[in-house]
Amino acid sequence: MPKPITLKDHYRETRVFARRAVVSVFVVILLIVALIARMVYLQVLQYEKYSSLSDDNRVSVEPVAPTRGLIVDRNGHLLADNRPSYSVSITRELCPDIDDTLEKLSRLVEISDSRLDDFHKRLAQRRRPFTPVAVKFKLTEAEIAIIAVNQHLLPGVSLSANLVRHYPHAEAMSHAVGYVGRINESELQKLNATRYSATEHIGKTGVEAFYEERLHGEVGFQTIETDARGRITKVLERTDPVPGENLQLFMDLSTQLAAMQALEGRRGAVVAIEPETGGILALASVPGFNANLFVTGIDYATYNALQNSKARPLFNRTLQGRYPPGSTIKPIVGLGGIETGATTWEYSIYDPGFYKLENDSRFYRDWKKWGHGVVNLHSAIVESCDTYFYELAFNMGVDSIHDFMAPFGFGDRTGVDLINESKGLLPSRFWKKATRNMPWFPGETLITGIGQGYMLATPLQLALSTAILANHGNKVQPRMVKAIGGTPLPAPEVGPPITLKNPENWDRIIKSMRDVVHSAKGTARGIAKDLPGYDIAGKTGTAQVLGIKQDEEYDAEKIAEWHRDHALFVGFAPVQNPKIAIAVLVENGGGGGSTAAPVARLVLDAYFESLRQDANVPTTRAVQTP
């Protein structure tokens, strides 16, 4: 079978090839047109979309935290400032293995378990990608160095410096200035999200909380260009944050420190007020605590120790502590007695050591077992005679006592520029009916007259009432802040002054209070010794914590410390032209004259020393700004 011979037809092959080549070129042109069409679609028709996608990619607006305002005392001493603090953070998006990195990191620096818990909690929260989450705050120089050296082994780990609140007198100022802490979930919901978008801390207590608005400042913004890893490559636009305003307090640092010192080792409170302005010169609640611990997050063990301590260091006794005022209210009750005609300066009684109501088998005892003998209002205040005031109270009636004392600030908030102030309790028939649905018993009036029973007052209220007394009835509102941003705050509106039918009675009652300190029988005579150029009007108080049964006697030696009497002292100085009014409370401290009055003396000395030094400096020191 002959094999068919296939001859190569060169002409035909050339033609076939040429045709195929033309088809190919045609297809090439078609495909190029297709590519151009695709590009037109992307670059012309969809330009807006991709252009904004590209901008979203690179441009983001980032808030810039304002610097928190400083807090200084009346002489410009720093009470709260901002210091750089280094923290180490991990950015999850840049970290290949979080657990491994934490493991390596904890070999370099010590990280507590509670910090680790907190880190994991924050890591789980929703946040922008590439946001670093802090692992440890307040690194020491050595820790910064060891992390920096090993950083190449720790991808995603970064060191950052932040301004963090710092309290140079953290313990002394813990209740007055308060502290800032990390913003928590419930605070976050109430805050203006924009204003706080860069802020990590918020005032939690004290002045820091009350003046949060003014201290915080206004957030700034910067429009930044970031790369795919979230690193800032360029700042395109920037609106600077407005720093928070600086606060100047009425507080006198040395007086405050003296108050803390005087109560060292005890539990108690000192409140000192400038009678003319209502400015708070000292606000000490002892024991205090280290407020700096709260700024970057306190660990659970330390917090629990503070929270569960029997001495209650976290409790602000000056504002929240409600104590029976005891005999410290006697001058005001006495003044009320004169004003209502329930007694006169000349009226005197014989005190056998107790008072007895008709139709009442109960003995209302005087603190002095055998009585004071013949006493009038002056000697009843000087010697703190209870029997005289039982009778006076009985004659006045509880509602008269209530009505006369209320304008002195008892039973209501003073309106001080601090948070969580307690109202105290100034009882009346109406109050008892309304709250307990019980009638008022005459015996309750008697003990109200000596500041016992239902009556409760905060140390701040005691200091305020003393200041009003020192002012001859001119009211003031206690306040912490003297000036904001260099501008003095105007004095708040207060009610009309307390007027007496005979204004001379102010001086007469003050004379009695002066004799509490400056007479041989005065209950606070012990503090009159070597007074450096000023005199004091005051009143001691010893408030029962336990009710004493009829046939029992109070014996401090025999009962537990926690059941001993509270020691109190109120006073002001100098008697003419008073510069300072003070209230001292020592919990379970025993006698007011023996325990509380010496505390007051130390504080007063410190204040007058501070005034003297201030007078020596020709110009008033300006607010320090670093």
Partner 1 sequence: MSRYDYKHQLGTSQSPVTRRISLMQAIHLDAPLLGGLLVLVCVGLFVLYSASGQSTDTLLRQLLRIVAGFAAMMVMAFIPPRTYKRWTPWLFGIGIILLIGVLVTGTEAKGAQRWLAIPGTGVRFQPSEIMKVVVPMMLAWYLAERALPPGWKPVLLAAVLILLPTLLIAKQPDLGTSLLIASSGFLVLFLSGLDWKYIVGLAAAAVPAGAGVWMVMHDYQRQRVLTFLDPERDPWGAGWNITQSKTAIGSGGWEGKGWLHGTQAHLDFLPESSTDFIIAVLAEEFGLLGVCALLLIYFAIVARGMYIAMNAQDTYSRLLAGSLTLTFFVYVFVNIGMVSGILPVVGVPLPMVSYGGTSIVTLMSSFGILMSIHTHRKLVST
Contact 147, 88 (CB under 8 A): yes
| Tokens standing for residue 20 | 């195929």
- # binding residues, partner 1 (CB under 8 A): 45
Shortest distance (Å) from residue 99 CB to partner 1? 22
Q: Hey, which residues does 269 pair with through a beta bridge?
A: 285, 585
Among 1, 3, 11, 12, interactor with partner 1 by CB under 8 A: 12
Task: Please say which residue, 17 or 363, places its beta carbon nearer to partner 1.
Answer: 17
Shortest distance (Å) from residue 227 CB to partner 1? 4
**Residue 553 DSSP symbol:** -
Shortest distance (Å) from residue 1 CB to partner 1? 17
Alpha helices, DSSP H only, in 211-309? Answer: 212-216, 253-262, 292-295, 300-308
Q: Which of the stretches 53-61, 155-163, 184-192, 450-458 binds partner 1 when contact is defined by CB under 8 A?
A: 53-61
Q: What is the DSSP track for 148-212?
A: HHTGGGSTTEEEEEEEEEE-TTTTTTTTTT--EEE--HHHHHHS-TTTTTT--EEE-SHHHHHTH
Task: Please say which residue, 57 or 131, places its beta carbon nearer to partner 1.
Answer: 57
Distance CA 138, CA 82 (A): 13
Q: Which of residues 350-389 bind partner 1 (CB under 8 A)?
A: none
Catalytic status, residue 327? yes
Among 9, 97, 117, 535, interactor with partner 1 by CB under 8 A: 9
**What x-and-dash track marks residues 26-45 binding partner 1 by CB under 8 A?**
--xx-xx-xxx-xxx-xxx-
51 part of the interface to partner 1, by CB under 8 A:
yes
Among 46, 344, 420, 625, interactor with partner 1 by CB under 8 A: 46
Burial 193-222 (b: 16+ CB within 10 A, else e): eeebeebebbbbbbbbbbbbeebbbebbbb
Shortest distance (Å) from residue 155 CB to partner 1? 16
Shortest distance (Å) from residue 198 CB to partner 1? 23
Q: Which of residues 146-175 bind partner 1 (CB under 8 A)?
A: none
Q: Which of residues 224-283 bind partner 1 (CB under 8 A)?
A: 225-229, 233
Three-state secondary structure string covering 247-273:
EEECCCHHHHHHHHHHCCCCCEEEEEE
Sheet containing 220-226: order of strands: 59-64, 220-226, 232-239
Among residues 87, 327, 384, 428, the one annotated as catalytic is: 327
Exposed, middle or buried: residue 569 (CB in 10 Å: 0-12, 13-18, 19+)?
Answer: buried
Task: Please say which residue, 44 or 560, places its beta carbon nearer to partner 1.
Answer: 44
C-alpha 503: how far from its chain's center? 39
Among 1, 2, 3, 8, interactor with partner 1 by CB under 8 A: 8
Distance CA 420, CA 604 (A): 27
3 part of the interface to partner 1, by CB under 8 A:
no
Task: Please say which residue, 224 or 426, places its beta carbon nearer to partner 1.
Answer: 224
13 part of the interface to partner 1, by CB under 8 A:
yes
Site for partner 1, rule CB under 8 A: 6-10, 12-14, 16-21, 24-25, 28-29, 31-32, 34-36, 38-40, 42-44, 46-47, 49-51, 53-55, 57-58, 225-229, 233
* Active-site amino acid positions: 327
